[in-house]
Structure 1
Amino acid sequence: MKVAISGKGGVGKTTIAAALTKIFAQSGGTVYAIDADPDACLAAAIGIPEDEALKIKPVVEMRDVIRNKSGSGAFYTLNPKVDDFLDDYSYKLGNIRFLRMGDPKKGGSDCYCRENTFLNALITSLLLDQQDTVILDMGAGIEHLSRGTARGVDMMLVVVEPSRNSLNTAKHVQRMAGDLGIARIGIIANKIRSDKEKEFLLQSFPDNAILGFVKFSESIWANAMKSSSAAELEGELLVEMQKVCLKISGEVGGYK
């Protein structure tokens, strides 16, 4: 199962991605948790200790490794072998394998073409070749996906909160995902405080588009301000995200 997650910054996308990662991991089997949003902090959210998370180097900055895989001269292979890279360089937390991709768009005079090509090969391998579950935490722009790699995405989840800006971003992501050929696009409504907010979102999307409603949590909000902000899989968050996992499984399989 391959699930990509997007949404406007601040809507709780990474908390949702971490919750899904943990729930799928609890069902057995390896889960790849991929942080493809330069502004996100998925490592801390899934429970990697802060001192360990700080040591995790973004893939795009592993220039020596990438040159060894792709070639160090003026010419480099466009399809480097990356399957062993996933085993060698992912951070292991139980049966979760974590990778931080880094920002493919770098400023300055250096050319990052080789690094960007390697990132594309890595995403392609994760989405098209891996048999394990992959959770891809992306920014609102979903830049890491191309029409080719999008073929491997079983479902795109867009996290929204009850605000007009969040809805506008969600509609934009839906259009981009549709243009890339992603057939299954689901909405997760987060930070819901009232029936009025729930109704606002229900009226904003087609029937059955919203897979789940997650109530605003003071404990999660307070936890997000700490240096270690692992998503608390308890209470209503756990119940609601288990429902979401079952709905995803009903469409694409992979969770019981």
Structure 2
Amino acid sequence: MKIAFTGKGGSGKSTMAALFVNHLRAAGQRVLAVDADVNVHLAPLLGVAGEPAAALSHPDNVRSVRSHLIGTNRLIGGVEHFVPTTPPGPGSRLVTLAGDDPILVRHAAALDPRTHVVHVGTYEAKDIGAGCYHGHLAILENLLSHLSLDAGDWVVCDMVAGTDAFANSLHAQFDLIVVVAEPTPESVSVARRYRELAGAAGVADVLAVVGNKVADQVDRDYLARELGGAPLAVLTSQAGLRRARQAGVPPRLEDLDDASALRRIADYARPMAAGRRAELMRTLHLRLAGKGWVRSAHGDVTSQLGPVPV
């Protein structure tokens, strides 16, 4: 299962993602935690230093990951033709959550034998005035599309705040997208906009809103009214969690008075049908292939697609 946490900046999405990772760990699941926020918050919340050299978007790591994924797939034509939506094909290597998977060994930090953490990276000084975080996320798109998950495996991604997932293929890569919303006008407006874009992109059904920092029934009623219905789950204001964060300590399940919201999210998630995802990704690949900058930099990448399934 692949699940993303997003929402307005400051909504608590990174903290909720970290708590959800720990919830899955406590249940004995295999987990790959992905910090895809430009601010690199999830990795430290899990006790991992987000070093620039270890970032997936570091040029050396991008080439290493893509070279591995290509395998003997002749449809791609080399690393220089690997674009964000390049699909796996005959001979491609897929990434698993097994502890000995080469990608995890080279690029992930192990919290325990069943839990690994990777981070995409952030802006560096060299990027000032000439960098775009969307470009950093391309390697995450490649990783997600080349995953092979067993039953019970989880990928938990802390996404960049706001609606940036619709600028690339990430909105089609997850089985569940959790929009974390505080009971404030700014936060619910982001949740509503996410819902609108998800509908336009054909993934409205994989979207769920979870309330956070909810103090009382007035907050619950506000979220239900502004969102047009009650959130999937609600995490109330947690004094223990706030004290832990004020002390600079990674959040723990023990800091929560009530972890039912995490259980509700896990129970709600359902895998997207493989055929549906393939069709979504095929459409997005053809759309990207038609861009002038893609044709100029990578050539005709439509040939990377196999025949349309009958």
- Please tell me the TM-score bracket, short chain as reference: 0.7 to 0.9
* Equivalent position SS for 2:22: helix
Distance 1:203 1:21 in 2: 30
2:207 corresponding residue in structure 1: 185
Distance 2:136 2:256 in 1: 42
Distance change >3 Å, CA 178–CA 25, structure 1 → 2? farther
Distance 2:19 2:64 in 1: 35
Query: Are residue 17 (structure 1) and residue 13 (structure 2) matched?
Result: no
* Aligned amino acid, residue 228 of structure 1: V
Aligned length: 241
Distance 1:123 1:163 in 2: 32
The TM-score, its normalising length taken from structure 2, stands at: 0.66
Query: Are residue 65 (structure 1) and residue 61 (structure 2) matched?
Result: yes
Query: Are residue 158 (structure 1) and residue 179 (structure 2) matched?
Result: yes
Distance 1:9 1:111 in 2: 18
1:199 corresponding residue in structure 2: 221
Distance 2:225 2:110 in 1: 42
* Equivalent position SS for 1:224: helix
The TM-score, its normalising length taken from structure 1, stands at: 0.79
Task: Indicate the larger mover: 11-20 or 113-122.
Answer: 113-122
* Aligned amino acid, residue 101 of structure 1: V
Offset at 1:59? 1.3
Task: Indicate the larger mover: 142-151 or 229-238.
Answer: 142-151
Q: Provide structure 1 residue ranges, at least 5 long, that are not aligned to the other structure.
A: none
Distance 2:237 2:109 in 1: 30
Residue 234 (structure 2) aligned to one of 206, 213, 220: 213
2:303 corresponding residue in structure 1: none
* Aligned amino acid, residue 4 of structure 1: A
Query: Are residue 125 (structure 1) and residue 128 (structure 2) matched?
Result: no
* Aligned amino acid, residue 117 of structure 2: F
Distance 2:135 2:23 in 1: 35
Distance 1:27 1:252 in 2: 19
2:156 corresponding residue in structure 1: 135
2:287 corresponding residue in structure 1: none
Contact 1:192 1:198 in 2 (8 A): yes
- Paired residues for 1:1-256 under 5 Å: 1-46=1-46, 48=47, 52-55=48-51, 57-61=54-58, 63-68=59-64, 70=66, 76-78=80-82, 79=86, 83=95, 84-94=102-112, 95-103=114-122, 106-109=127-130, 117-126=138-147, 129-131=148-150, 132-144=153-165, 148-182=169-203, 183-207=205-229, 210-246=231-267, 248-249=268-269, 251-252=270-271
Q: Provide structure 2 residue ranges, at least 5 long, that are not aligned to the other structure.
A: 68-77, 87-91, 96-101, 273-310
* Equivalent position SS for 1:134: strand
Contact 1:120 1:144 in 2 (8 A): no
Distance 2:241 2:33 in 1: 20
* Equivalent position SS for 1:18: helix
* Equivalent position SS for 1:59: coil
Distance change >3 Å, CA 167–CA 117, structure 1 → 2? closer
CA deviation vs aligned residue, 1:17-69 (integer Å, no higher than 9, x gap): 112111222223311111111124112323x2xxx5154732112x2233355
Contact 1:59 1:99 in 2 (8 A): yes
Q: Is the radius of gyration larger for structure 1 or structure 2? A: 2
- Percent identity, aligned pairs only, is 22
Distance 2:196 2:132 in 1: 31
Structure number with the bigger relative contact order (C-alpha 8 A, sep ≥ 6) is: 1
* Equivalent position SS for 1:158: strand
RMSD (CA atoms)? 3.2
* Equivalent position SS for 2:25: helix
